[in-house]
């Protein structure tokens, strides 16, 4: 079946540094990918919609300069947390749509970011 | 706005026990409802879905019925196995939603099944 892979699965960094998380669709092309974050005991919240070849669409309240999204190819989207702070520590998950519009949705394994 | 509320976990059961994970939602109109499951070290996977009132989604022995009158979509399984240990997420997408990526999720419920 279709697989979406995220890397790294866990990352620990110092406050002030930037961290890049990759999301790859391994056996299909994804024109649209999504990024979510989950704080402990809270829901998965959609952060942004990543569109191949164009700018990402951010949800209300998500800082676009803080969370840089690049969808440079049909199989790769990256999320860069810039100048990370402890409050950015969270579980980040990506998903990719196979097909157009209401195509099937596949999720990555998630990436746990801890900022010291 | 839309919201999904799941019963708090963790839920711990013995093998062959009956499972219920409650899920209620708030949304306008008739949203589509989903249950996703995340096994350790893996991504979320669609477990089952229902797109209109009174629909029953089912898969791998799990069932959930779309109850419009109680705005609920409770997940049930008659006899759980150790391999069912995972995190379960209830989710919805608004009526007329054009992209399954814009899901609203519950907070997830951890299920642990002991032999």
CB neighbourhood size of B39 (10 A): 14
Per the DSSP assignment, residues forming a β-bridge with B63 are B58, B76
Q: Which residue of A has its CA nearest to B4?
A: A43
pLDDT value for B44: 84
- Whose tokens are 């499951």? That residue is B37
pLDDT of residue A101: 56
Q: What is the 3-state secondary structure (H, E, C) of chain B?
A: CCEEEECCCCEEEECCCCEEECEEEECCCCCEEEEEEECCCCCCEEEEEECCCCCEEEECCEEEECECCCCECCEEECCCCHHHCEEEEEEEECCCCCCCCCCEECCCEEEEEEC
pLDDT category at A116 given cuts 50, 70, 90 is: very high
* pLDDT score recorded for residue B99: 55
Q: Average pLDDT in the B77-89 region?
A: 96
Cβ distance B76 to B48 under 8 Å? Answer: no
Those residues whose C-beta lies under 8 Å from the C-beta of residue B69, and which sit 6 or more positions away, are none
| CA pair distance A44, A93, nearest whole angstrom | 8
The CA-atom distances, in angstroms, between B87 and each of A34, A77, B5 are 20, 25, 15
Q: pLDDT over 90 for what percent of chain A?
A: 61
Q: Which chain B positions have a beta carbon within 8 Å of A42's beta carbon? A: 107
CA-to-CA distance for A21 and A19, rounded, in angstroms?
7
The partner residue sitting opposite A43, judged by closest CB among B4, B8, B44, is B4
| Residue A98 in tokens | 């196979």
| Chain B interface disruption, residue of A24, A32, A43, A106, most B CBs within 10 A | A43
Mean pLDDT score, B8-35? 93
CB-based contact A8:B65 (threshold 8 Å): no
Q: What is the mean pLDDT of residues B1-6?
A: 89
* Closest in B8, B99, B107 to A101, CB measured: B99
CA distance B97 to chain A (A): 8
Q: What are phi and psi of B83, to 5 degrees?
A: -70, -10
Query: Strand A32-38 and strand A57-58: pairing?
Result: unpaired
> Would you state the structure tokens that stand for residue B98, as one six-digit string?
């054009």
């Amino acid at each position: 079946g279709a697989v979406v892979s995220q890397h790294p699965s866990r990352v620990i960094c110092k406050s002030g540094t930037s961290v890049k998380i990759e999301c790859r669709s391994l056996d299909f092309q994804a024109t649209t990918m999504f990024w979510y974050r989950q704080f402990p005991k809270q829901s998965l919240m959609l952060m942004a919609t990543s569109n191949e070849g164009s700018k990402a669409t951010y949800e209300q309240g998500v800082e676009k300069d803080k969370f840089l999204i690049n969808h440079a190819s049909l199989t790769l989207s990256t999320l860069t947390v810039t100048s990370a702070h402890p409050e950015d520590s969270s579980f980040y998950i990506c998903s990719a749509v196979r097909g157009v519009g209401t195509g099937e949705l596949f999720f990555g394994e998630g990436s746990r970011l801890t900022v010291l | 706005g839309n919201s999904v509320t799941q019963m708090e976990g963790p839920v711990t059961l013995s093998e062959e026990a009956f499972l219920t994970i409650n899920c209620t939602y708030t949304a306008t109109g008739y949203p589509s409802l989903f249950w996703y499951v995340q096994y350790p070290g893996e991504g979320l996977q669609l477990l089952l879905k229902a797109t209109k009132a009174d629909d029953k989604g089912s898969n791998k022995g799990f069932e959930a019925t779309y109850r419009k009158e109680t705005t609920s979509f409770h997940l049930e399984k008659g006899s759980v196995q150790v391999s069912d240990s995972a995190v379960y997420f209830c989710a919805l997408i608004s009526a007329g939603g054009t992209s399954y990526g814009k899901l609203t999720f519950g907070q997830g419920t951890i299920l642990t099944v002991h032999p």
